[in-house]
Chains A and B, each alone.
Chain A
Amino acid sequence: MESRPPVGAPTPAEVCVLDGAVGGRADALDTRVIRRGPDRRHLLLPALHALQDGIGWISPEALAELCARLEVPRAEAFGVATFYALLRTEEGPRTVVHACDDIACRVHPEYRELSGGAGHSGSEPVGVHPSPCLGQCDRAPALFVQRSGTGAARWTATGSVDDALAAEGAAAVAPRVVAAGPAWLTGRIGVADPTSLEEYRAHGGYQALRAALAMGPEAVLREVADSGLRGRGGAAFPTGVKWRAVAGSARRERYVVCNADESEPGTFKDRVLLEGDPFALVESMTIAGVTVGASRGYVYIRGEYPTAEERIIAAVDEARRRGFLGSDVAGSGLGFDIEVRRGAGAYICGEETALFNSLEGYRGEPRSKPPFPTEVGLFGRPTVVNNVETLHNVPVILSVGAGAFRAVGTAESPGTKLFSVAGDVARAGVYEVPFDTRLDELLELAGAPASPGATLLGGAAGVFVPPGATDVPLTFEGVRAAGLTLGSGAVTVFGATSDLGDIVERITAFFRDESCGQCVPCRVGTVRQNETIVRLRSGSRLPGDAGLIEDLATVMSDASICGLGHTAASAVGSALRLGLLDGVAGNGAGGTRS
């Protein structure tokens, strides 16, 4: 263990926060010996959150005290604290407004670009920071407020910074949820009270868990595999294969993790599921747990989703109180429980292995694969990690049966799919459609303009679709054949008058800001890609810039560690191929400089 040079004492308020978050020191008498007690490092991020919420920043004294209590080196804890956008290691205003300046909000008529800096609420200073997509594209322009200290609170809002400050305590606007076909995933949203387990059960809740317990794990694994369910987080990996690998592991300690770190720009469907039907996620994870033989599950939810977090925590507590979680799940004799963990503002933590590192109290840097999470996952143990929407499909499959599930959609893409449609559309919202729905049908449903400038499919990691090419079936195989991707199911529409160059530049800035910095192709490549696009737009392009863009795309997609780097050039490349930036300054014969 590190030596611990003396620092000042934490304030009584900091001590109080730490007592609540992690308890006292394991051994206050002797800090020089290496102890072999249970590793408590996984409490680091929750404790940093507690300091951020309770004090407003993480001071050197509080960090040193926290490190002494958790047996974590100070330098490493500082590395963790400085990794996240929602944690501060310098003192600042107790209220911070994060204003979305990402792709969907930028094209909203009420969007105003903020330079960042400071504002005021009455006599009190307020920090204002531009923010990557807040996952509220259906209520653009979106804001997120963090208030620390006495009366600590987090809330979301729409409009200006003043609107955001005035919106504390206001009820969130109900999202638009449309099902064109079976409402398997969205049927309870807006119908059943998301805070009531009674209502959840009255609308079919917990029947699937009963069925799963009656069928036994082997039959559930077969049913999930037979359904052809594929992951909805972007990679489209067969869920049944993942589950079976963990269920068949030789190691007894296993985990189920729900990836609720929805951060792909333009995506908000998981938020709508979490806010509108939280018990369904609890039931889905419980089914996963009893099926693969895990006794513990984690929901890792992004820090910008306070309402969703509150509801999922309440649902977990209620389910535990009523015997649906705990040492005897629904009278089965099997144990399973869920813990909810909050992210702290890092897109990269949606990458599954970065999520594990974040949960374990390390920097959210992706790990090398192989080994895959089914072998070496959370805490080094076999782990099922699934997206929110993927998990929500499981009770559906067990209720209607794999056969009926496969009857919707196509052979390769069975079931329904949620799309987050936003941008220049009349009816932004979450759309649940059968998998063979065509993109133009979806756009019409959402009220997209007859001839938009372009549609971005799959968020910042996705691909631009030109106006004439929207006659494409929204299936995994259909979009692949068209050279597109479904990604997270984000459909962001840009009107004919939108400045697509501005959107493309924003996407490059997004990847620059969100790269974890671990590998060279992504850490430097995303910066260079952004610089090149800025040059292109400002009319100061260099002679070799066209080749440079391609070389950067090659190294990022071929040599990066994880999916962030692999896809960082995707949307930019498609925009250039489609000539979407051809109108911008300097991208012609006359704009070069030597």
Chain B
Amino acid sequence: MSAPVPVGIPRRKVTVRIDGTEQTAPEGSTILDVCRGAGVDVPTICWAPTITPVNACRVCVVELEGSRTLVPACSRQVTEGMDIRTGGERVRASRRMVLELLASSVDLSRAEADILRWLEEYGTDPERHGPDRARVREPVRRHDELYVRDYDRCVLCYKCVDACGTEAQYTFAIAVAGRGFDARISTEFDVDLPESACVYCGNCIGVCPTGALIFTREFDLRASGRFDPEGQTVTTTVCPYCGVGCNLELHTQDDEIFRVTSPEDHEVTSGHLCIKGRFGFEYAGGRARERRAEADPASVRDATTPA
């Protein structure tokens, strides 16, 4: 497959220094673009390739010569002559604290592998904030057999809100409500999803970095202790429902689909799907269900039956 040919207006190049080394990038690039192009590891949580940066998590901060405070790499565009440092103690101190503050307030045990790696690399110590520290405490919201919202794990990265809204789905079923430490992702008056504007595209699940939004199948697998990454496969296929041609990645364990994603770099989807592609896979699990039903009839539940 040949690469697409860019046909936009040619962009000027700007030259900046990253950790003392000159780098050239097209105008409009962010510091993060340049860093990653140069192979510099910059941690990100609220950033995603398909979403306009909101720079809320602040874990990507870098030192910019002439700036009183650190600046977010994910959203700050490079300008000619910027002198940027990504690795000094000042940068490390703030990144470590951002990661530590998150780990001290929410459950990051199901976070993306990179986040878990950064927690280690930056030497975070959430326990030093004391056993009585405030934590986010929310009941697990399980309103149907499609997905679960477990906001004890939510870092308020805004990605689900943006994917539900103007960055992908234009459904606007969820937003941030409340203020400060009490701010939460919520439907209006916290109504259950079926009573909200939610269309079950699942694009919020696709962008969630911490497992706060999770397929119900996967949630149950993990809750029962049967979740087994070693025994899982990912199969790439094309969604059978319409002619758009969305790629699907079917994540399976024991021949059963527990999660459906789409590649972020896919031309059609940018990682986003609709309800059919995301959740309309029940028909594919027939044989596995039959086998399971024979072995243990109680283990099989109809997807349309409430828990």
Contact between B176 and A554, CB atoms less than 8 A apart: no
B284: interface (CB < 8 Å): no
With A517-B182, A554-B93, A561-B58 already in contact, the answer to whether A78 and B195 are too (CB < 8 A) is no
Choice from A73, A528, A551, A559 contacting B58 with Cβ under 8 Å: A559
Interface residues of B in 167-218 (CB under 8 A from A): 170-183, 186-189, 191, 195-197, 199
A5: interface (CB < 8 Å): yes
What total count of A-B pairs have CB within 8 Å? 168
A63 to B186 CA separation, bound complex (whole angstroms):
15
Give every chain A residue within 8 A of B171 (Cβ-Cβ): 2-3
Closest to B72 in A: A368
Choice from B58, B129, B187 contacting A520 with Cβ under 8 Å: B58
B40: interface (CB < 8 Å): no
Contact between B98 and A555, CB atoms less than 8 A apart: yes
A524: interface (CB < 8 Å): yes
Choice from A74, A83, A554 contacting B179 with Cβ under 8 Å: A83
With A3-B171, A548-B128 already in contact, the answer to whether A527 and B134 are too (CB < 8 A) is yes
A147: interface (CB < 8 Å): no
Interface 1/0 per residue, B66-80 and A, CB below 8 Å: 000110100110000
Shortest beta-carbon distance, A191 to chain B, in Å?
41
Contact between B189 and A5, CB atoms less than 8 A apart: no
Shortest beta-carbon distance, B66 to chain A, in Å?
13
Give every chain B residue within 8 A of A561 (Cβ-Cβ): 55-56, 58
Contact between A77 and B188, CB atoms less than 8 A apart: yes
Shortest beta-carbon distance, B189 to chain A, in Å?
5
Closest to A521 in B: B58
Give every chain A residue within 8 A of B156 (Cβ-Cβ): 517-518, 520, 523
Shortest beta-carbon distance, A532 to chain B, in Å?
8
Give every chain B residue within 8 A of A60 (Cβ-Cβ): 188-189, 191
Give every chain A residue within 8 A of B132 (Cβ-Cβ): 531
Contact between B94 and A548, CB atoms less than 8 A apart: no
A2 to B187 CA separation, bound complex (whole angstroms):
12
Choice from B93, B155, B182 contacting A555 with Cβ under 8 Å: B93
Give every chain B residue within 8 A of A75 (Cβ-Cβ): 172-175, 177, 186-188, 196-197
A117 to B197 CA separation, bound complex (whole angstroms):
35
Choice from A64, A76, A368, A523 contacting B180 with Cβ under 8 Å: A523
A29: interface (CB < 8 Å): no
Stretch touching chain B among A237-245, A373-381, A455-463, A507-515: A507-515
A79: interface (CB < 8 Å): yes
**Interface size range of chain A in the complex:** 35 or more
Interface residues of B in 38-52 (CB under 8 A from A): none
Contact between B102 and A78, CB atoms less than 8 A apart: no
Shortest beta-carbon distance, A18 to chain B, in Å?
16
Closest to B98 in A: A520
Contact between A528 and B101, CB atoms less than 8 A apart: yes
A590: interface (CB < 8 Å): no
Contact between B174 and A519, CB atoms less than 8 A apart: no
* Chief secondary structure at chain A's binding surface: helix
A346: interface (CB < 8 Å): yes
Give every chain B residue within 8 A of A64 (Cβ-Cβ): 188
Interface residues of A in 25-69 (CB under 8 A from B): 60, 63-64
Shortest beta-carbon distance, A158 to chain B, in Å?
28
B257: interface (CB < 8 Å): no
Contact between B58 and A5, CB atoms less than 8 A apart: no
Give every chain A residue within 8 A of B188 (Cβ-Cβ): 60, 63-64, 74-75, 77-78
Size of the chain B interface, CB-CB below 8 angstroms: 52
A560 to B68 CA separation, bound complex (whole angstroms):
12
B25: interface (CB < 8 Å): no
A551 to B129 CA separation, bound complex (whole angstroms):
11
Closest to A525 in B: B101
Closest to A84 in B: B179
A106: interface (CB < 8 Å): no
Interface residues of A in 513-571 (CB under 8 A from B): 513-521, 523-528, 531, 535, 542, 544, 548, 551-552, 554-555, 557-561, 566
* Chief secondary structure at chain B's binding surface: loop
A236 to B114 CA separation, bound complex (whole angstroms):
42
A89: interface (CB < 8 Å): yes
Interface 1/0 per residue, B131-151 and A, CB below 8 Å: 011100000000000000000
Choice from A79, A83, A531 contacting B134 with Cβ under 8 Å: A531
B97: interface (CB < 8 Å): yes
Give every chain B residue within 8 A of A531 (Cβ-Cβ): 129-130, 132-134
Contact between A83 and B178, CB atoms less than 8 A apart: yes
A363 to B156 CA separation, bound complex (whole angstroms):
15
Contact between B175 and A520, CB atoms less than 8 A apart: no
B291: interface (CB < 8 Å): no
Contact between A552 and B97, CB atoms less than 8 A apart: yes
Give every chain A residue within 8 A of B199 (Cβ-Cβ): 3
With A516-B179, A524-B105 already in contact, the answer to whether A79 and B93 are too (CB < 8 A) is no
B35: interface (CB < 8 Å): no
Contact between A551 and B97, CB atoms less than 8 A apart: yes
Choice from B98, B133, B182, B183 contacting A559 with Cβ under 8 Å: B98
B104: interface (CB < 8 Å): yes
Contact between B181 and A559, CB atoms less than 8 A apart: no
B59: interface (CB < 8 Å): yes
Contact between B93 and A76, CB atoms less than 8 A apart: no
A577: interface (CB < 8 Å): no
Give every chain B residue within 8 A of A551 (Cβ-Cβ): 93, 97
With A520-B59, A520-B98 already in contact, the answer to whether A79 and B130 are too (CB < 8 A) is no
With A523-B156, A525-B101 already in contact, the answer to whether A535 and B173 are too (CB < 8 A) is no
Interface residues of B in 87-145 (CB under 8 A from A): 90, 93-94, 97-98, 101-102, 104-105, 128-130, 132-134
Give every chain B residue within 8 A of A11 (Cβ-Cβ): none
Contact between B133 and A528, CB atoms less than 8 A apart: yes
A78 to B188 CA separation, bound complex (whole angstroms):
5
Choice from B55, B75, B180 contacting A512 with Cβ under 8 Å: B180
Give every chain A residue within 8 A of B57 (Cβ-Cβ): 519-520
Contact between A521 and B97, CB atoms less than 8 A apart: yes
Contact between A515 and B179, CB atoms less than 8 A apart: yes
Shortest beta-carbon distance, A272 to chain B, in Å?
29
Contact between B93 and A74, CB atoms less than 8 A apart: no
Choice from A63, A517, A526, A528 contacting B176 with Cβ under 8 Å: A517
A589: interface (CB < 8 Å): no
A210: interface (CB < 8 Å): no
Contact between A73 and B197, CB atoms less than 8 A apart: yes
Choice from B90, B165, B177, B191 contacting A558 with Cβ under 8 Å: B90
B61: interface (CB < 8 Å): yes
Shortest beta-carbon distance, A531 to chain B, in Å?
6
With A517-B178, A520-B101, A524-B101 already in contact, the answer to whether A559 and B172 are too (CB < 8 A) is no
A-B contacts, 30 of them at CB < 8 A, read A2-B173, A3-B171, A3-B197, A3-B199, A74-B197, A75-B186, A75-B188, A78-B177, A79-B176, A83-B177, A514-B180, A515-B179, A515-B180, A517-B179, A518-B56, A519-B58, A520-B57, A521-B101, A526-B181, A527-B180, A528-B104, A528-B133, A531-B129, A544-B128, A555-B94, A558-B69, A558-B93, A559-B94, A559-B97, A560-B69
User: Chain A: residues with CB nearer than 8 A to chain B?
Assistant: 1-5, 60, 63-64, 73-79, 82-83, 89, 346, 363, 368, 512-521, 523-528, 531, 535, 542, 544, 548, 551-552, 554-555, 557-561, 566
9 nearest A-B residue pairs (beta carbon): A73-B172, A517-B183, A555-B97, A524-B101, A74-B188, A2-B197, A79-B175, A559-B94, A78-B188
Instruction: Knowing that A76-B175, A519-B58 touch, tell me 15 more A-B residue pairs with CB under 8 angstroms.
Output: A5-B195, A64-B188, A74-B187, A75-B175, A368-B75, A512-B181, A519-B57, A520-B155, A523-B156, A524-B105, A527-B105, A528-B101, A542-B128, A559-B69, A559-B94
